[in-house]
Amino acid sequence: MFCSLVDYSTKRMIAAGVVLIAAAGCTASEDGGGATTPPPTGTTPVSMSEAEAVRFLNQATFGAKQTDIDELRDIGFEQWILDEFAKPQESLLQSVLLVEASGADAGRTELSETFWTRAILGDDQLRQRFGFALSQIIVASYADGALEDRPVAMANYMDIINAGAFDDYRQLMENVTYSPAMAIWLTYLQNQKADTEREVVPDENYAREVMQLFTIGLIDLQPNGDPQLDGGGNQIETYDNTDITELAKVFTGLSWAETDRFFRRPTDIRSEYLPLVMYDEEHSPEAKSFLGATIPANTPGDQSIAMALDILVDHPNTAPFVSRQLIQRLVTSNPSSAYVGRVADAFRSGSFTMPDGRVAGGAGRGDMRAVAAAVLLDTEARDASFTTGAQFGKVREPVIRFTQWARAFGVSSTDVSAVERLRDTQAPNALNQQAYRSPSVFNFYRPGYVQPGSESAAAGMVAPELQITTAASVTGYANFMTDFIFNNDGRTDFAPNYDAETALAGDAAALVDHLNMLLAHGALTSATQSQIIDAVNAVTAGGGSFSRDELRARLGVLFVMNSSDYIVQR
């Protein structure tokens, strides 16, 4: 089913000027969801195949490379995950602060370079990849000109999200709420309490989106993520406009750190990464009633925010709402209710017992380490028999395709200033996507997007990534990857190493078999392999600066990465 969709061939600690996000457990009461289905068991093979290793790494990282494949096969899924949890975070903010300190203009170039560098070369791959998935749920974007002009604020936000990948969700939401970048993006920076004489009312943007997109969603959910229905069989809305208006009062009174007045603009660069501070004189003193709860009148601003975030994260919807989207970003666009329910259970308990008996998480409700392990080690994620199901799989988003290529083929230098095209890859003639540069708070694509007139739509399936898959982007991606795969201008930055592929290229079948495993965990169909083998065999001489085998190796990579068998991750 999925192959037919794209069937085209071709808390906050500040030290030494660097922000460190402290992991903090946040235990909360159970929301009554309880266990939905038994936890998965027996998913770790005694002897892991190369295909199983590649498939796992292409879900859990920015792309499998041979050294990581070999390591994973030696230590197993569980130990690999625990090792990733123990790795220190590689900060993007540090890189941007160094550029700012040098007097250079960081801007878009530095933000894009720090992402590409961490995604391609970073050692903390699970944190970076899971953080990228979270960034598409809790969106702030430097598509906003104000954030593009404040690269320090945006880099700090990126670090907050990546830190939250292994923190608890409640702490993540607090760090997000107090981040200057989110306050700029959703316009609650210097948000004032109501004043009837001056016709001032609290800005409602953040109140709306923190419910709709970051925590509870629009529709009441069962513990497994299925819609909750009323007596007439209708879906039930989670909140109304009154809830938004009341919650908006909570997010009043926040302004820059390193200033002495609420409305004063900061002059110290630290204000762009220090948490916002509360000016209680500008915070709404009224009682705030939303989602069936009330924050009493005259509650101080920071306490009001803490109480509101507790209400939102403890809401029964939050666990399944967030869990489904994380599964979609990493494993499959249409997870079963049972899969969502198991991951939501891990979110609620903050603990996940892995197949070998060891526990991931344990810091209380919303521990994202438990959630990450639950997403990646679930039976539906690991059992290869699920890959043959018509509803299983997802379209690989363009940014991930590029990083997979770069990691698989040994890109070791990532200076974006030397590669103009990577400064901004959001155009359809490039990747039609750039990390942390979503056009709106709704991400690059909606989790519930249905491709009109498609077989998937007829089958009741969603296909989020197809929202940015167009005739122009298909051609643009092929041309974009051709430029990088062939490295026609001989650049040293983002330059691949095809020594292993060139050594195999005399035997087209061996080359395609190697590429099939490295890029697609052996998922290319026999028909696709035959077509690529024939195309490679048709190359009987070199061309340009390439020998015959060098040309064959590059063409093999290009053909595989443009095949629908690769584009659809199973």
pLDDT at 145: 86
pLDDT at 105: 60
Contact indicator for 336, 353 with CB cutoff of 8 Å: no
- Residue 391: both structure tokens together: 């509803």
Contact indicator for 129, 61 with CB cutoff of 8 Å: yes
Per DSSP, the residues of 48-85 read --HHHHHHHHHHHSS---HHHHHHHHHHHHHHHHHHHH
pLDDT at 564: 96
Q: pLDDT tens, position by position, for the chain (570 residues)?
A: 444 333 323 333 322 233 333 332 333 333 333 334 444 444 444 489 999 999 999 999 999 999 999 999 999 999 999 999 999 999 999 988 888 877 766 556 788 888 999 999 999 999 999 999 999 999 999 998 889 889 999 999 999 999 999 999 999 999 999 999 999 999 999 999 999 888 899 999 999 999 999 999 999 999 999 999 999 999 999 999 999 999 999 999 999 998 889 999 888 999 999 999 999 999 999 999 999 999 999 999 999 999 999 999 999 999 999 999 999 999 999 999 999 999 999 999 999 999 999 999 999 999 999 999 999 999 999 999 999 998 999 999 999 999 999 999 999 999 988 898 999 999 999 999 999 999 999 999 999 999 999 999 999 999 999 999 999 999 999 999 999 999 977 889 999 999 999 999 999 999 999 999 999 999 999 999 999 999 999 999 998 889 999 999 999 999 999 999 999 999
C-alpha closest to that of 118 among 85, 156, 160, 90: 90
Q: What is the DSSP letter of 421?
A: G
pLDDT at 152: 93
Contact indicator for 452, 466 with CB cutoff of 8 Å: no
pLDDT at 104: 63
Q: What is the DSSP letter of 225?
A: S
User: C-alpha distances in angstroms, 23 versus 11, 48, 138, 165, 412?
Assistant: 7, 33, 18, 10, 31
Dihedral pair phi/psi, residue 313, rounded to 5°: -70, -30
pLDDT at 107: 57
Q: Report the amino acid identity of residue 124.
A: D
Contact indicator for 544, 504 with CB cutoff of 8 Å: no
Tell me how far the alpha carbon of residue 137 is from its chain's centroid. Answer: 7
Q: Report the amino acid identity of residue 224.
A: N
In the chain, what is the straight-line distance between the N-terminal and C-terminal CA atoms, in Å? 12
531/206 Cα distance (integer angstroms): 51
